[in-house]
Amino acid sequence: MTLRKTLFFICWGLSTLLAATGFWQIGFWQGEIVVAICAIAWLFVRKKFLKFCMGSSIAVAAAGLLLGVPSPFMFFYAGLSLACWDLTSMDLSLACNLPRQKTKLYQSMRLRTLGFALGAGIFTILLGRYLSFQIPFLVMVIFIFLAIFSFDRIVHALQHKE
């Protein structure tokens, strides 16, 4: 089994476990059934209906947060579903290659980037969620201007790259 498939099954298993545990904690058994259906969908129809699997997982995570499931469970569930989505997408994009063609660098670049993106995202969420502090109004205004400036730079960079 390839590394990406192994990682997919690990992420899939962990995400299903976390989501089921979260719903079990609040005693919402219907949520556990929906999580199980999503898990089966990920296992069997992910290659044909990838966007549907991803969309349904995010919907389950959002619904869990709204129903009062402890947020770390749903954050990790969403993060691991994103990882499953990316790993399946990588699998599909490499399907056109022959076995003898070199894909090691491509795989390692993508997995490294995925790890960085998810790690930074989860770290930021946990930091922002559990560290609360007062921001002075002036600092808030500066942050807003920084955000608008950054948005403009991102759009400019996107146009430049395309």
Rounded Cα distance between 54 and 86, Å, is: 10
SS3 content of the chain, % helix, strand, coil (to 5): 85, 0, 15
Name the residue among 151, 87, 75 with its Cα closest to residue 119.
75
94: DSSP letter: G
Assess 13 for contact with other proteins (CB under 8 A): no
Residues in region 94-153 near other proteins by CB under 8 A: 94, 96-98, 101-103, 105-106, 109-110, 112-114, 116-118, 120-122, 124-125, 128-129
CB 114 to other proteins: min, Å = 8
Assess 26 for contact with other proteins (CB under 8 A): no
The encoded tokens of residue 110 equal 């993508």
Q: With contacts defined by CB under 8 A, name the span among 14-22, 27-35, 63-71, 140-148 that binds other proteins.
A: 63-71
CB distance 83 to 28 below 8 Å? no
Assess 71 for contact with other proteins (CB under 8 A): yes
Name the residue among 2, 9, 11, 1 with its Cα closest to residue 114.
11
In the complex, which residues of this chain contact other proteins (CB under 8 A)?
Answer: 51, 54-55, 58, 61-62, 65-66, 71, 74-75, 78-79, 82, 86, 89, 93-94, 96-98, 101-103, 105-106, 109-110, 112-114, 116-118, 120-122, 124-125, 128-129, 154, 157-158, 160-162
